[in-house]
Amino acid sequence: MNTVASILRPGLDELVSGIAAITARRPDAHAAAVAVADLLRERLPSQDILTEEERAGSPDGYVSHVLHAQADFSIAAVVWRPGQETVIHDHVSWCTFGILSGVEYETLYRDEGDHLVEIGHAENRPGEVSGFAPPGDIHKVRNTSPVTGVSVHVYGADLHKLGSSVRRAYDLPVLQR
């Protein structure tokens, strides 16, 4: 479920211009993720970037609101009610994310061809920022907190054109490390 904003939302202008300056240098995927994560730490917006209705989420699953999209990057806000989660997936591009509320519990995997292996976990809390670049970006994310979670995600792709940052969902058996 995606919503698209056609005009820049208040509070995003400095973030958008900073990311545009980074992507204009055409860094490789890892360098872009690191640089944008550093910028996001400095300019992480508040939950007020979304309307009250958008912050409520949906009982049907997590919701992604595209806040800005252009050819080389997009900014989206993801809203997760308690217990909501993604499928195991990877991405079409580098990604950075910052947590505004809730706890995003991330399980990381490695693809072994005929199965996945769990290789780690991260518990991302409000104010924390992280990022990654393919390959090695296979994960599943779940809001483990008792409150609705909101996070801001920046992807190195045009979500208006693609519709989603997900490259592939995985339906392989998972083995513990």
pLDDT at 169 over 90: no
pLDDT at 84 over 80: yes
* Full-model pTM: 0.88
Instruction: Name beta bridge partners: 120.
Output: 108
* Residue 5: per-residue pLDDT: 41
pLDDT at 3 over 50: no
**For position 27, which CATH number holds?**
2.60.120.10
pLDDT in tens, 115-153: 999 999 999 999 999 988 887 788 999 999 999 999 999
pLDDT at 28 over 90: yes
Distance of CA 3 to the CA centre of its chain: 15
pLDDT at 157 over 50: yes
* pLDDT, mean over the chain: 89
Quote the domain boundaries for residue 14: 2-175
- CA nearest neighbour of 138 among 86, 176, 175, 88: 88
| Sign of the alpha-carbon torsion through 33, 41, 105, 86 | negative
What is the number of domains present in the chain?
1
pLDDT band for position 2 (cuts 50, 70, 90): very low
176 CB-contact burial (10 Å; exposed 0-12 / middle 13-18 / buried 19+): exposed
> Collapsing DSSP states into helix, strand and coil, what is residue 14?
helix
- Lay out the sheet containing 63-70: strands in order across: 2-4, 63-70, 73-80, 149-155, 95-101, 129-132
* Residue 161: per-residue pLDDT: 83
